[in-house]
Amino acid sequence: MDLCGISFLFFFSLFPYQKLEKLALIGIVLAIGLLILVFIPGIGKSVSTYYGRNFHRWIAIGPYQLQPSEVAKVAVLVYLASLFQKLKLEITLDYKKLLIPILLLLTVIVLILVEPAFGTTLEILFVILGFIFLFGFPFRNLLIAGIVSLPLIYILIDRVGYRKKRVEVWLDPYRYRFDEGHQLVTSFRAFLDGGWFGNKLASGYAHRYLTYSHTDFVLATFVEDFGFIGFMTFIFLVLLLLFRSFYLIQKVQDPFGFYLGAGILIVLGTQFIINMFVVTGIFPITGISLPFVSYGGSSILIVLISLGILVNITRKENLGL
C-alpha cells in the first residue's frame, strides 16, 4: 500500500489539479456511497472493541481494506474548495444555493459519526470552519458559534457510552491503568523512559506492551527511541512543512488552488495536533493517526495523495512570482 501511495503522490504532483474541480460533485457523491457500503454485510467490515461497541469503518476489496472516511476527507476538501471559489465570485451571497452543499456535507458527517469515527468527524468540522474563516467570515462569530455548539458536543459524548468512558479514562487514566487506561499510562511511561536522547531502538517497554504502538500511538514509541530532543526535532520539521507550505499557498493565484491547498494544510495540521495531544494526555483518545509516521493503508495513502496535490498547487508556475 505504501508503494501504491508513493505512486499516487507522483501522479497527483503531475496531474493538473484544476481538473479536480470538475470532479468535485462526483467525488463527494462517490464518498457518500462508500460510507454507506461499510454498513452492508459482506462488504463492510466491523471490529469489536473493549468499549463494547462495533466499529464499521472498513470495506473489503479483495485482500485489501479501504477506510471510506479517509477517502471522504479528500472528497470534502475538493468539494469545499470548488464551492468557496464559486462563492468568492458572487457579488451577493444567495443562501438558497447553499442548501444542497449543506445537505451533502451533513450526510458525510452523519455517516462518519455513525461508524463511529469521532476523530475524523472533528477533522472535517475543523476543515469546514477553516474554509469559512478563509472566506472572510468574522472570527468572533465563529467563536460564538463554537460556544453555542458546546451543549451538542456534550450530548454527543454523554449519550454515547464509549465516548463517555473515554473521557473518564482521560481524566484519570491511572484509575483504569489495568484496562482502558493502560494505553495512555504506557504512553506516559514511554515519554518518561525516552529521557533527553532516547533508548536503544525498539527495546523499550512501550514497544512490547503499548497497544496501537505502530498506528495511533506511534509517537510514544518514537519518543521512547529518540527522546525529548527527537520529539522537538519532529515538531520543528512538522511546523516547517506547514508554515512553508502556507507561505507558498498564499501566493497561489487560482482561488480553487488556494482553498484546496489551505484545506490540505488544515487537515494535516489538525491531525498532527490532535494526535500529539492524545498521546500526551491533553486530549481524549480519538483514533486519529499521525501523518507520515503511523502505519495504516488508507491513512498513509490519502496523506500521500494530499501531499502530491499540495506539491502540484505550489509549483512555480502557479505562484505569483
pTM of the model: 0.89
Class of residue 2 by CB neighbours under 10 A (exposed 0-12, middle 13-18, buried 19+): exposed
Given this model, what pLDDT does residue 294 score? 85
Least confident of 36-45, 71-80, 169-178, 247-256: 36-45
pLDDT at 293 > cutoff 70: yes
pLDDT given at position 154:
66
Indicate left, alpha or beta for 108 from its phi (over 0: left) and psi (-120 to 50: alpha). Answer: alpha
Question: Is 147's pLDDT higher than 90?
Answer: no
pLDDT single digits (tens) 157-184: 655 556 777 888 888 888 888 888 888 9
Residue 278: count of CB within 10 angstroms of its CB: 25
**At how many degrees (to 10) do helices 297-313 and 2-14 cross?**
20
**pLDDT tens across 128-139, in order?**
888 888 887 766
Interval 224-237: pLDDT, tens: 999 999 999 999 99
Picking from 2-11, 104-113, 272-281, which range would have the lowest pLDDT averaged per residue? 2-11
The overall average pLDDT reported for the chain is 85
The pairing of beta strand 64-66 with beta strand 44-48: unpaired
pLDDT of residue 107: 94
Query: Residue 167: what pLDDT?
Result: 83
Supply the pLDDT for residue 1.
54
Q: Beta-carbon neighbour count of residue 207 at 10 Å?
A: 17
Distance of CA 231 to the CA centre of its chain: 21
Q: What is the pLDDT of residues 86-119, one digit of tens each?
A: 887 765 666 777 889 999 999 999 999 888 788 8
